[in-house]
Structure 1
């Protein structure tokens, strides 16, 4: 474990995998405790985590098995320009800005605090990951309908973003930083 924080809308523990990729395990707080502004923006904070209180809520389980029903709630991407990356994902995926600072942006669909965050914390001139080197090869985004998938394709084509169809219901979308989003119909 490399850290933990109370973000106002969630409580998070931070880990790193063997390649150094950051992993955030979190649980959302009740929406009634979130700082939601009139314009829909959701303000986050970084405060000390009440780790002992969280520990006492848990059960003793095998430390190498995630609980059934565990799912990825959001992903953070290291990019060279967080504003440009945020604009790209808002346009292509239809996400909305929930909170931004000069070096990062948190975006989401609907009333969630963030499904995707983009930041420059690894360096503003960050070079794209080279094939075969450690790091994120791609992440998967599932959509509910063929229409939603085709709308993403249309928006990506308007921005001339590379798309590679893998089959009739799955494609790879490459953002300006070379990050691949594998988009597929939910099964």
Structure 2
């Protein structure tokens, strides 16, 4: 493996959102997305599955709304293990919420919606990797075709929560510049570019289709503050990888802070990334 890239077993950890209204947001992620409330202490609620923390909601009643020009979250993507689980998610959305869109991406089937605060949410399942197409240059071929929602709905089993082996498969960001995102997430952090489209780049550890997406479709230009994405996490397989990543980031002139659980760094748009094993 190239020592300047992150290992294939790197994965997305927790995602934290700042919200000004807590109860309706908790209800959404529990009843629509299908997570479980793991703990809540009044100004912080953690949701996940089978004890695994996935989403942290930070209650800040006076937090201003995210400005239209602010970078930050495009969507957080929850990955389920099967079409049946995706069908169950579609059933919950149709019963409790509103579906914003649905796509077949060639590598995955995806449902799109927004939480009560307007944060983008994707729920998806991957096709088997053997079926993924590659471009002549070795990138992954992703498309955006209509999803056969009737077939997905027909696979539903009626379960009201995600399977325990679901996780956050990727985080997609609104950024000010594709070049700025690529400089941080590929050149400094060590993800591989897996696909590029007009105004977007998709990056991953190993051969996954993407752990990070970054686009300029909303023409964002100012650092994020207020409601929305507070931080997100990437989990690395071991301490050696963590230290090597810290060295690369500092050599690229990104300020890295050490914490009790790992490292904290901000990308070129000021989006907070936490790294831990």
* TM-score normalised by the chain length of structure 1: 0.90
Match of 2:124 in 1: 26
2-side partners of 1:99 and 1:30: how far apart?
18
Match of 1:182 in 2: 274
Match of 1:148 in 2: 241
Q: Deviations over 1:158-181 (max 9, x none)?
A: 1211222121x4121111100111
* 1:118 equivalent in alignment to 2:178: no
Q: Does structure 2 conserve the Cα–Cα contact (< 8 Å) formed by 1:40 and 1:111?
A: no
Match of 1:52 in 2: 150
Offset of residue 183 of structure 1? 0.7
Structure 1: give runs of 5+ residues left out of the alignment. Answer: none
Q: Does structure 2 conserve the Cα–Cα contact (< 8 Å) formed by 1:162 and 1:175?
A: no
Matches within 5 A, 1:42-121: 42-62=140-160, 65-121=161-217
2-side partners of 1:46 and 1:102: how far apart?
13
Q: Does structure 2 conserve the Cα–Cα contact (< 8 Å) formed by 1:90 and 1:96?
A: yes
Q: Secondary structure at the match of 2:228?
A: coil
1-side partners of 2:115 and 2:243: how far apart?
34
Match of 2:19 in 1: none
Q: Does structure 2 conserve the Cα–Cα contact (< 8 Å) formed by 1:170 and 1:184?
A: yes
Deviating above 3 A after TM superposition, structure 1's stretches of 4 or more consecutive aligned residues are none
1-side partners of 2:243 and 2:176: how far apart?
28
* TM-score normalised by the chain length of structure 2: 0.62
2-side partners of 1:97 and 1:35: how far apart?
15
Structure 2: give runs of 5+ residues left out of the alignment. Answer: 1-98
Q: How many residues of Structure 1 are paired with residues of Structure 2 in the alignment? A: 179
The root-mean-square deviation of aligned C-alpha atoms, in Å, is: 1.3
Q: Secondary structure at the match of 1:41?
A: coil
Q: Secondary structure at the match of 2:241?
A: helix
Q: Does structure 2 conserve the Cα–Cα contact (< 8 Å) formed by 1:108 and 1:116?
A: yes
